[in-house]
Structure 1
Amino acid sequence: MPLVRYRKVVILGYRSVGKTSLAHQFVEGEFSECYDPTVENTYSKIVTLGKDEFHLHLVDTAGQDEYSILPYSFIIGVHGYVLVYSVTSLHSFQVIESLYQKLHEGHGKTRVPVVLVGNKADLSPEREVQAVEGKKLAESWGATFMESSARENQLTQAIFTKVIQEIARVENSYGQERRCHLM
């Protein structure tokens, strides 16, 4: 019987970048054309990676801006984050940088499991943020970068699989630092 692990993941980003669409596409396998601003929703899904099962609890948040105060519920007991911006909005990309800084400060540690997602990649003619910019920002954080389209179901499964892997990578790196070696 596989080991079942619980993982709480918070999805953060500016308003209208597609946070709910990504979560809904991942859990339900469908894209909704109608848009209702999210206050806060939660989704659950079991994900199998190798021999392990992960009970993924997603917290889909209301859109934040650079002045938002992140509640402790977005920090305490959270294993990882999906930070989402729209490739069609430079402002949403700038807000993500501010949100990451707040997460970093809130956690009080250097490594936070993050997957940075440039969403709405299907709207390339309207693009304001190039993939290379997203990749560079993610690298500066030691995070993973992906571009996706919730509408086209591009990489939606991979985003949430990757955040589980990032959580394990960060947890394992802390475990290695604490080990005592006798020579």
Structure 2
Amino acid sequence: MTELLCNPEKLSRVRGEIIDIVGTNRQVQESDILRLPFLQAVVKETLRLHPTGPFLIPHNAETNVEIDGYIIPKNAQILVNVWANGRDSNTWSNADSFLPERFLNNQIDFRGKDFELIPFGAGQRICPGLPLAYRMLHLMLATLISNFGWKLEKGIKPEEVDMNEKFRLTLQKAIPLKALPTKL
């Protein structure tokens, strides 16, 4: 919601998509998600910039291995920095910008097959909550967007919103978002 409130044209676009596909007379259903490509792109872009956890669960190296000239010894604990991976300018153009459009005409997904976007991990240790998170993220965001207008509190301008994050076990906004629902 913070990224969308800071980018009102993208909020309008996703709201328009929901209205065009779902209409105004019914709630967004799970079966609608696949027909809402911009909503899916917004969720992917949000997970790229703001993964729930900044690091994946630690792994241990099974053998000695060399990667890019660095020796990783057997049994070394390895952490994957998902936050930095999502902001890597070698992988993502305009890496620090919220650009959901980057996901519209490409097949990159966060289900563990595309290693440039792995907020839920990958392989055998992928987060078991991924299927639930996939459904809930899309449904909750679509419900909030389609049922309410939104504004920042007390006339704060989008460029004034503090986007800093607190790095803990989970990633959180340093200053929580305060948004007010309005009538559509």
Same fold by TM-score greater than 0.5: no
Q: TM-score range with shorter-chain normalisation? A: under 0.3
Compute the TM-score of the two structures, normalised by the length of structure 1.
Answer: 0.27
- The structure with the largest strand share of the pair is 1
Compute the TM-score of the two structures, normalised by the length of structure 2.
Answer: 0.27
